Copies of this chain bind each other. A is one copy, B any other.
């Protein structure tokens, strides 16, 4: 189950490796400026034609990959580079940002917890002149808050271009990292208490799962962070300086996320140490009990064994008080043993509930 989240690619140059179970694309158009807002699902590609090369901001949101000719036609209509289209269709890619002549491609991956497993669906954006085209494998609901903000006209989004829209989407995707990381952190906290209390094999399995999730987060998150740094730092003809200021803010968020992930990782390593130490400690406790019982009773049993021998001439056996003397000696040996163990600190101090 480890890498199944990452289906093998093996993409050959020039061909799209669309997963066979990918749903047919549904295309949503949103064309807006400060003054107007056109929103409708696209049934026929001809509907898109009037929105190519306009002054307004056009957002073409494509969900689903399961129709290669259609994807190629949309790409051609907006002048998307074939290599770029491959990046969009051949999922999953590592996050990246690259500038082509006609557009900038930005690939993002954002965490999504479905059925208790952590996935990182890919979102691909083409920031062009006057339009933003987004590709998703299927609809993950990542973009709904932004869409609502555009409809409501909250903030500067309606008055801004496709670069600000791309920023708003990326910022939303980055924000999705927070609850995931915080969830891991909380799981670690709970696990910590449990392990210190009483380490079981279940805790080990849980800890391993968390560590694997952290490893996945690091693998996916660092390229994501590099992508945003790159967008905020390197000049691009498709992103204005004003939007770059906002991207620096997103960059800080992503940096904070990765700082927390690294912190979780360090805590998880420490927890593993604690688990092992607790096991070792527990074993010591058990060993002590065993040693105590053996050390007290084995000598006593030996003494009893001596007087159980059937020799004809054993002078002690006839003595009247001998039995009680032997019982006293036995008690003495036991008391001495307990005293010895106490002195060594192996008895009487319950450390766990200290």
Using a CB–CB cutoff of 8 Å, the interface residues on chain A facing chain B are: 1-3, 6, 8-14, 81, 83, 86-87, 93-94, 96, 98, 100, 145, 154-156, 167-168, 171-172, 175, 178-179, 182, 185-186, 188-189, 192, 196, 198, 200-202, 204-205, 208, 211-212, 215-216, 219, 223, 245-246, 248-249, 252-253, 255-256, 259-260, 262-263, 266-267, 270-284, 286-291, 293-295, 297-302, 304-314, 316-318, 320-323, 326-327, 345-346, 351-352, 354
Complex Cα gap A10–B307 (Å): 76
Interface CB pairs A-B, < 8 A, 28:
A2-B185, A3-B182, A8-B179, A12-B172, A83-B249, A93-B256, A94-B252, A98-B248, A200-B351, A201-B277, A201-B278, A201-B351, A204-B274, A212-B267, A215-B263, A216-B263, A272-B273, A275-B277, A277-B279, A283-B283, A286-B287, A286-B291, A293-B299, A294-B294, A297-B302, A304-B308, A308-B308, A308-B310
Contact of A276 among B154, B253, B277, B304 (CB under 8 A): B277
Known pairs A94-B259, A313-B323 / 14 extra A-B pairs, C-beta < 8 Å: A3-B182, A14-B155, A83-B245, A83-B246, A200-B354, A211-B270, A216-B263, A272-B273, A286-B291, A287-B287, A289-B291, A308-B310, A309-B310, A311-B322
Contacts of A171 in B (CB 8 A): 12-13
Complex Cα gap A52–B346 (Å): 73
Complex Cα gap A172–B283 (Å): 49
Contact of A309 among B12, B201, B212, B308 (CB under 8 A): B308
Complex Cα gap A207–B98 (Å): 39
Complex Cα gap A287–B283 (Å): 8
Q: Say yes or no: A196 contacts B205, CB within 8 Å.
A: yes
Closest B residue to A184 by CB, please name it. Answer: B3
Complex Cα gap A188–B309 (Å): 57
Contact of A270 among B167, B208, B245, B323 (CB under 8 A): B208
Q: Say yes or no: A279 contacts B278, CB within 8 Å.
A: no
Q: Say yes or no: B287 contacts A178, CB within 8 Å.
A: no
Q: Say yes or no: B302 contacts A312, CB within 8 Å.
A: no
Contacts of A274 in B (CB 8 A): 204, 208
A284/B294 contact (C-beta < 8 A), A302-B301, A309-B307 known = no
Contacts of A295 in B (CB 8 A): 289-290, 293
Closest B residue to A349 by CB, please name it. Answer: B200
Q: Say yes or no: B14 contacts A255, CB within 8 Å.
A: no
Closest B residue to A313 by CB, please name it. Answer: B320
Complex Cα gap A10–B175 (Å): 5
Contacts of A201 in B (CB 8 A): 196, 277-278, 281, 351-352, 354
Contact of A3 among B185, B291, B299 (CB under 8 A): B185
A263/B154 contact (C-beta < 8 A), A96-B252, A280-B276, A309-B326 known = no
Complex Cα gap A283–B354 (Å): 20
Write the nearest CB–CB distance from A8 to chain B, whole angstroms.
Answer: 5
Closest B residue to A253 by CB, please name it. Answer: B9
The 10 closest A-B pairs by CB, nearest first: A304-B305, A307-B309, A14-B155, A3-B185, A290-B291, A311-B323, A308-B308, A200-B351, A297-B298, A301-B302
Contacts of A205 in B (CB 8 A): 196
Complex Cα gap A201–B276 (Å): 12
Contacts of A307 in B (CB 8 A): 309-311
